[in-house]
Amino acid sequence: MYSTNFCDNICRRKIYCYFYKKLYNSELLNLNLFCISVRDKRVVVLTGAGVSAESGVKTFRGNDGLWENHSLDDVATPDAWIRDPQLVWDFYQARRNQLTQVEPNPAHLALGLLQSEIPDFTLITQNVDDLHERGGSSSVLHMHGELRTLRCEVTGETELRMTDSDLSQNFVNCNCCETPTKMRPDIVWFGEIPMFMQKIYQMVENCDIFIVIGSSGHVYPAAGLVGVASTYGAHTILVNYDLPVNADMFDEVHTGKAGELLPKLVTEWLD
Ligand code: OAD
């Protein structure tokens, strides 16, 4: 099978590089044991909050993460929206406003470049910001929704709502209903089903290379996608600041900041 051959090739290459390096004992060769060319492969990338951290967008877990300072039950569940819509609205309006102040970082730009060079490329993100799009990526699958859009609770229709008045403390009404109704954030809350899952499983099951960047591996189904990719024979790569809970599921692990590592890795991968 194609992907088995691909893994065999990677193994042979790793062994070859290992002995080559040992033989000549030369760091100057600077061989990356895991160096692979991705150009002709089917590549799926999954990103998490870590990819936007260097743009100044807070991650969720860890020191000073969003869930450190806000109770998830108070702001990120359907019940919370029923109980105290103003609190939920204020939380997401603050994050929607922040979008106007942050810029894509080198990790977003590197992924934009990677997509432009690979015909069969899919970018899945758990992030609700639009920094991938502004970094040059297109057709991004936002599995946890998007901040830029709001959703009508009656029809389910979404609208891009980012004008100054859309970003105020007041609730925003939809344009689709005869009697305009209050829109909710277009975000997947806890207890709701993530978006595009059928397409996501299809892409992950059929990819040759699956790359995860900046995710703690705590939230399913996203955290389980590496297992799916592995089962179907893909080579799996992790780029993360530290080792997440599912780190041992990856074939290849790069620890460090995505904005520093990714530009170099993308250059290597495209070589
Ligand atoms: P987390 O906040 O759980 O994890 C972010 C990960 O990024 C951590 O493992 C950090 O070590 C890593 N990280 C931080 N800075 C980094 C950097 N500069 N470069 C690379 N890695 C870095 O965020 P997610 O895993 O994305 O869901 O969280 C998943 C979901 O949980 C979110 O989409 C959100 C949240 O609850 C919903 O709101 C539905």
Determine if ligand 1 sits within 6 Å of the CB of residue 77.
no
Domain with CATH 3.30.1600.10 in the chain: 60-101+146-187
The phi and psi torsions of 159 (rounded to 5 degrees) equal -135, 140
How many whole angstroms separate alpha carbon 82 and alpha carbon 74? Answer: 10
Q: What CATH number matches the domain at 60-101+146-187, 3.40.50.360, 3.30.1600.10, 3.40.50.2300, 3.30.930.10?
A: 3.30.1600.10
Out of 51, 60, 131, mutate this one to test ligand 1's pocket (max ligand atoms within 8 Å of CB): namely 60
Ligand 1 pocket, residue 92 CB under 6 Å: no
pLDDT at position 123, please?
Answer: 98
CB 41 within 8 A of CB 120: yes
CB of 188 closer than 6 angstroms to any ligand 1 atom: yes
Would you call 144 a catalytic residue per the annotation? yes
Return d(Cα 69, Cα 61) in angstroms, integer: 10
Name the residue at shortest CA distance from atom 36 of ligand 1.
60
Q: Is 262 in the pocket of ligand 1 (CB under 6 A)?
A: no
Domain with CATH 3.40.50.1220 in the chain: 37-57+104-144+194-271
Q: Which atom of ligand 1 is nearest to the CA of 222?
A: 29
Q: DSSP of 45-58, one letter per residue?
A: EEE-THHHHTTT--
Residue 213 half-sphere exposure toward CB, CA atoms < 13 A: 27
Q: Tell me if the domain spanning 37-57+104-144+194-271 has CATH number 3.40.1360.10.
A: no
Angle (nearest 5°) at CA 217 between 243 and 6: 80
Mutate to test the pocket of ligand 1, among 241, 257, 265 (most ligand atoms within 8 A of CB): 241
Which residues of the chain, if any, have pLDDT below 70?
A: 1-36
- pLDDT at residue 36, as a whole number: 57
* pLDDT score recorded for residue 22: 36
